[in-house]
Amino acid sequence: MPLVPKQVVQDRYEVVRSIKSGGMGAVYEAIDLKLASTPCAIKEILCSALQSADAKYVLQSFESEMRSLANLDHPNIPRVRDYFDIEGRRYIVLDLVQGQGLDDELQDHLRVTNEPMDPEVVALDMVSVLETLAYLHSHKPPIVHRDIKSANLIRDKRLGKIKLVDFGIARSVETQQVQTQVGTPGFCAPEQLAGRAEPRSDVFSVGATLYHLTTGKLPPTFAFEPMDAELPGH
């Protein structure tokens, strides 16, 4: 069952509203009753995802997000507060990023002006994303986000900073000898589509995101090479 407003989880988190839901999970706004009623976000794996043929992969992705975020300390990455399991459902509690995704911001621009976003604004936003990626990639081994795109970049409405969210498929390079082909078509680098994501793959995705925001069009997709093929350059 999905969480509902006023429901209290773990005797601590009171649900305020549903923010979004999809095939793999849901995100809720809540307040932390044991931390001065501060706002937070609860991410949940939906039952439908757990019962699917890919349930093992879904759970591994969720647990990967928890482990990746728990060790991070950067102003542009939401901080993990808690992690728990209720009757087989996984939850992670993070600081709430109050703002708008850049994909929605782009749609607002298109509706109001019939034009995509200002290239100068987008360029500054992408510099901020690259600075966040420099932090992730500086870890030993480097952490590769693997899903940089407009929807996973939120503009904090208080400070205007770009926050990088959704680490569900993030991986350290050290653990990537065998990878699934994951990510969002059009935003993925060739080597990522071939199952070999590395730090430069995230940089490619930043370029694809810049294209999306400044043209209003989704980046073009392309076929990937077999796993044993030579990596194409970019």
| Catalytic residue numbers, as ranges | 147
Nearest to 196 by CA among 168, 221, 157, 225: 225
Q: Alpha carbon 192 to chain centroid distance?
A: 16
Backbone angles phi, psi at 35, to 5 degrees: -135, 60
What CA dihedral angle connects 134, 160, 79 and 20, to 10 degrees? -110
Residue 140 to residues 70, 175, 192, Cα–Cα distance (Å): 15, 12, 20
Task: Determine the residue type at 113.
Answer: T
Backbone angles phi, psi at 216, to 5 degrees: 80, 5
Task: List, in sequence order, every beta strand (DSSP E) within 73-142.
Answer: 80-86, 89-95, 99-101
